[in-house]
Chains A and B, each alone.
Chain A
Amino acid sequence: MGERIVVDPVTRIEGHLRIEAEIKDGKIVDAYSSSTMVRGLENIVKGRDPRDVWAFVQRTCGVCTTVHAITSVRAVEDALGISIPPNAEMVRNIMEGALYMHDHAVHFYHLHALDWVDVVNALKADPAETSKIAQSISNWPKSSPGYFSDIQKRIQKFVESGQLGIFANGYWGHPQMKLPAEVNLLGVAHYLEALEWQKEIVKVHTILGGKNPHPNYLVGGMACAINEDSMGGLNAERLAHVGKLLKEGKRFIEQVYIPDLLAIASFYKDWGAIGKGVGNYMSYGDFPMNGYNDPSNFKFPQGVILNRDLSKVYDVDHRNGDIEEFVNNSWYDNYKEGADTGRHPWEGETNIKYSGPKPPYTHLDVEQKYSFIKTPRWQGKPMEVGPLARLLVGYGRGNKEIQDAVNGALTHLNVPVDALFSTLGRTAARGIETQLVANWTMEFYDTLMNNIKNGDSRMANMDLWEPSTWPAEAKGVGFTEAPRGALAHWIKIKDGKTENYQQVVPTTWNASPRDPKGQKSAYESALMDTPVADPELPLEIIRTVHSFDPCLACAVHLYDEHGNHISKVSNVGSCEI
């Protein structure tokens, strides 16, 4: 038996994640991933107007804000047989593209960088040397010795103030921090620049969806009616603003994010052999260019790869029994068929039933159920989803653009293909695909502008808006590739109301507890064999977990078909102090 360490809360993520790991001889020999928060969104949308549901489930996550809304309107449109106008498809693609740029860059700089960049060590840097490095890897204009010297002075004063704020108790000076001081300074400078930059690219959402976070969507298309000549609508000035924001966003990705990623990764090549994970990868595919029902026209291809074998890609079917969710290790009542059976999401039923330790607790009982996340499987197998999965599926499908992008990065870093299946591989894949998506988003924008120029201003198909036009019963599935991976919602509609709603989200796939066969999911699997230099400062655990970009609020949601616990809840609620 090794030493059990607990990391709770895991910070710089969305939501509440707890990791418990057994360490023996300086390596992780067992790991458990648990989500400790639940809200019950699937239950809450039951009985509501399906056209409203996107707004409820959008609140699943305010970080990857939009993806649950898109997925939801797609599910309703799929159920009712609504096809959206080409302009709406492009506007949705543009908004999702802008989200990728924002989300991935913010993840790299603000959620992940402090695992690799030592802020305090940057004080030892020679700013002139940092400037040389910056100018050798990019044309980004802010790269003079004076600029980096100013940044360094700001950090110096900050550290001297004694109030370290968000940098308090960080992993500064940890033996796993390997960057030269000059590169640390570069990282810190761009951490601050990215914080300024990120509020610009989201304005694409504000123009097209009215606000960010949580822009508006619409079943049947989008609400931002086009009228080149109107003062209030999506006119020429507004459209030009979108184009400018996208162009500037792309420039930041190309000249700051990608060069920084490659520079920092080159000092951490050993992480190309750590954090391997389950070895099965799944992508639902996304960014349709000609309708949502034909994955062959998607920018990101769809498919499953097993055992790291890129020579064979399997098809994904959301409607047959391939995808199932298990609750054998999750804090819900078992299905009536038994603890070891799974259910397709259309038939999914969940009854929250916490059976973990009574708080306050120091350790979870991992012999029992240990998480609010359910356990999804594809043909009974655990899957990793996310940027790496998307690129590997694209690679395996023979997509030339994706193959070139991946090969280019491998050549630059001078690492073998196997290095992709790792913590480093996940972090690199996120950057590589951001560049691809930034390119594609310009293409979506040009397509939209050409459509409008050719006289097509349609933005919504309202033919089947009224529930009186719907069949008595219908069911549908909506899927997207969220920044964090494969996301799908399944809906059943009856008499104009939402009868059943299930979300299986990226972090459900990656962070779930073990299935009935004892198979680990992606996080737990990737943590195995990770070296931990100092159990008191488990930076290595944080690195691998962050390489997945966890989003826990997404992963946990319940619905309760019978509502048994609800009365109990309100009784307890009335005892509040």
Chain B
Amino acid sequence: MATNNGVKETYYESAIKKGYDRRDFMKFAAFITAYMGFEHTMVGQVAKSLETTYRLPIIWEHYQECTCCSESFIRSDHPMVADIILDNVSLDYTETLMAASGHQAEAAKHDTMKKYHGEYILCVEGSVPLGADGVYCTIAGKTAKDHLIEAAEGAKAIIAWGSCATNGCVQGAKPNPTGATPIHKIIKNKPIVQMPGCPPIGEAMAALIVHYVTFDRLPELDRSGRPKAFYGKRVHDTCYRRPYFDAGLFAETFDDENAKEGYCLYKLGCKGPTTYNACGSMKWNNGVSFPIQSGHGCIGCSEANFWDNGPFYKRLTNLPGFGIESTADTVGKVAVGAVAVGLATHAVVANISKHKELKNRYTRGRVNEENLDKTEEN
């Protein structure tokens, strides 16, 4: 993190200056601790880290995208996160929100690249078209590719927001007319966090930034560069309709009696069994719902090439861990039978325990806060 040059302000100082009290700050720290998957005993360390860390400069670039990632980010519904993230992280360049336009905007970006060389985080929303020498996306007369290379050079780390930046998303679907290319295929010499999803869940985006700010390091990533906290489980494993799958109870078509009962959507093409994301556990927009809860199967938007893995309403025929020949009805019954007689595969056991762990994180957030209340009362 940045060294103290006497000008940069800590998160704690900043929060207090903005009118929050110590209690608000501690609550915020308690929630963030829970998000990161730590127990209550870690709250103190997180709070200490926030108290002594400086405002992190962020440059947020937009290339071939639809701005859904920015929109998701500002939806993050966590207490104080909107303020902390938007104000206390110094968002020095983002075409969506910044006041300045044109060369004033570019000047703001260049100021940050110079002043905080080696310290700022580069967030990228969108893919980079490499077709026809990059003319399919230019900003201020320069190609997206040149902008990316320039901004990446002085970045401490890069966050690739959403499926566009991580795998090319919809414009990269066949036949990929503009040569839409994900960030990691262009920038090879920087740490890149991959946050796929169309868009990623807002709270997960906010939590990633807070993790970096808090611990001055990237969270634990999987082989694909995704934070394990959000992409460690399949949607299927955390889905509240999973018991219906296991029992072989399925909606046969939209709006039929089984759909009204809330049965499993596997036969309507749900991609939950092959999709790694936190939709079933964190849910969306502060835990209000997620696609399956609202009656539509998962379309797999956080998986690479998901646009070409359709059609969306065709049931998966190859369920990992269950064998190619399995049909929905037999898969469900077999899985249930296996658990019942204690012959569960490693996958099933692992998934159940992961499910519990994810649910626990949310419970933990509340417990952390309650503990804090008790501590203060004493």
Which A positions have Cβ atoms within 8 angstroms of B? Answer: 6-16, 36-41, 43-44, 48-49, 51-52, 55-56, 59-63, 65, 110, 114, 119, 150, 153-154, 157-158, 161-171, 195-196, 198-199, 202-203, 205-216, 218, 220-227, 230-234, 238, 241, 352, 354, 356-362, 372, 457-460, 462, 465, 537-538, 542, 553, 558, 560, 563, 565-566, 568-570, 572-573, 575-577
Give chain A's interface secondary structure class: loop
Residue of chain B at shortest CB distance from A39:
B171
Please determine whether A170 and B99 come into contact, CB atoms closer than 8 angstroms.
yes
Please determine whether A37 and B136 come into contact, CB atoms closer than 8 angstroms.
yes
* Alpha-carbon separation in the docked complex, A198 to B198 (Å): 20
- Interface residue tally of chain B, by bracket? 35 or more
Contact residues of B between 175 and 190, Cβ < 8 Å to A: 175-181, 185-186, 188
List the 9 closest pairs (A to B, CB-CB), nearest first. A62-B68, A232-B262, A170-B99, A40-B177, A210-B291, A569-B131, A210-B294, A216-B296, A39-B171
Give the distance to chain B from A330, nearest Cβ to Cβ, in Å.
Answer: 13
With A63-B67, A211-B291 in contact, is A225–B101 under 8 Å at CB?
no
Query: Which of B38-46, B137-145, B348-356 touches A?
Result: B137-145
Flag whether B231 is at the interface (Cβ < 8 A). Answer: no
Give the distance to chain A from B155, nearest Cβ to Cβ, in Å.
Answer: 17
Q: Which residues of A contact B104 (CB under 8 A)?
A: 169-170, 537
Contact residues of B between 1 and 52, Cβ < 8 Å to A: 7-9, 14, 17-19
* Alpha-carbon separation in the docked complex, A357 to B229 (Å): 46
Query: Which of B87-95, B210-218, B321-329, B334-342 touches A?
Result: B87-95
Please determine whether A40 and B178 come into contact, CB atoms closer than 8 angstroms.
yes
Q: Which residues of A contact B173 (CB under 8 A)?
A: 44, 56
Please determine whether B310 and A213 come into contact, CB atoms closer than 8 angstroms.
no
User: Can you list 21 residue pairs at the A/B interface with Cβ under 8 Å?
Assistant: A12-B99, A16-B139, A39-B171, A39-B180, A44-B171, A52-B313, A55-B312, A62-B65, A161-B17, A169-B100, A171-B100, A199-B286, A202-B285, A207-B294, A212-B75, A213-B75, A215-B294, A216-B291, A356-B135, A462-B253, A538-B102
Flag whether B362 is at the interface (Cβ < 8 A). Answer: no
* Alpha-carbon separation in the docked complex, A558 to B64 (Å): 14
Please determine whether B14 and A161 come into contact, CB atoms closer than 8 angstroms.
yes
Choice from A14, A207, A209, A573 contacting B181 with Cβ under 8 Å: A573
Please determine whether A119 and B65 come into contact, CB atoms closer than 8 angstroms.
no
Contact residues of B between 44 and 92, Cβ < 8 Å to A: 55, 57, 62-72, 74-77, 82, 86-87, 89-92
Residue of chain B at shortest CB distance from A362:
B141
Q: Which residues of A contact B290 (CB under 8 A)?
A: 210-211
* Alpha-carbon separation in the docked complex, A543 to B179 (Å): 35
Q: Which of A8, A49, A119 has the most CB of B within 10 A?
A: A8
Please determine whether B177 and A223 come into contact, CB atoms closer than 8 angstroms.
no
Q: Which residues of A contact B262 (CB under 8 A)?
A: 225, 227, 230-233
Contact residues of B between 89 and 118, Cβ < 8 Å to A: 89-92, 94-108, 111
Choice from A56, A198, A209, A358 contacting B294 with Cβ under 8 Å: A209
Flag whether B122 is at the interface (Cβ < 8 A). Answer: no
Q: Which of B107, B143, B255, B259 has the most CB of A within 10 A?
A: B255
Q: Which residues of A contact B129 (CB under 8 A)?
A: 38-39
Please determine whether A570 and B292 come into contact, CB atoms closer than 8 angstroms.
no
Q: Which residues of A contact B180 (CB under 8 A)?
A: 39
With A52-B313, A213-B199, A576-B185 in contact, is A163–B175 under 8 Å at CB?
no
Please determine whether B295 and A233 come into contact, CB atoms closer than 8 angstroms.
yes
Q: Which residues of A contact B185 (CB under 8 A)?
A: 576
Flag whether B222 is at the interface (Cβ < 8 A). Answer: no
Extra inter-chain contacts (8) besides given A40-B177, A232-B240, CB under 8 Å: A8-B139, A59-B170, A62-B66, A65-B71, A203-B286, A206-B284, A209-B291, A359-B141
Give the distance to chain A from B90, nearest Cβ to Cβ, in Å.
Answer: 4
Q: Which residues of B contact A171 (CB under 8 A)?
A: 99-100
Residue of chain B at shortest CB distance from A573:
B179
Choice from B65, B87, B107 contacting A158 with Cβ under 8 Å: B87
Please determine whether B175 and A44 come into contact, CB atoms closer than 8 angstroms.
yes
Please determine whether A49 and B313 come into contact, CB atoms closer than 8 angstroms.
yes
Interface mask (B260-292 → A, CB under 8 Å = 1, otherwise 0)? 111000000000000000010000111011111
Please determine whether B99 and A359 come into contact, CB atoms closer than 8 angstroms.
no
Please determine whether B253 and A465 come into contact, CB atoms closer than 8 angstroms.
yes
Choice from B77, B105, B256, B311 contacting A199 with Cβ under 8 Å: B77
* Alpha-carbon separation in the docked complex, A166 to B91 (Å): 6
Residue of chain B at shortest CB distance from A19:
B102
Q: Which residues of A contact B19 (CB under 8 A)?
A: 150, 153-154
Give the distance to chain A from B223, nearest Cβ to Cβ, in Å.
Answer: 22
With A44-B175, A157-B18 in contact, is A168–B254 under 8 Å at CB?
no
Please determine whether A570 and B132 come into contact, CB atoms closer than 8 angstroms.
no
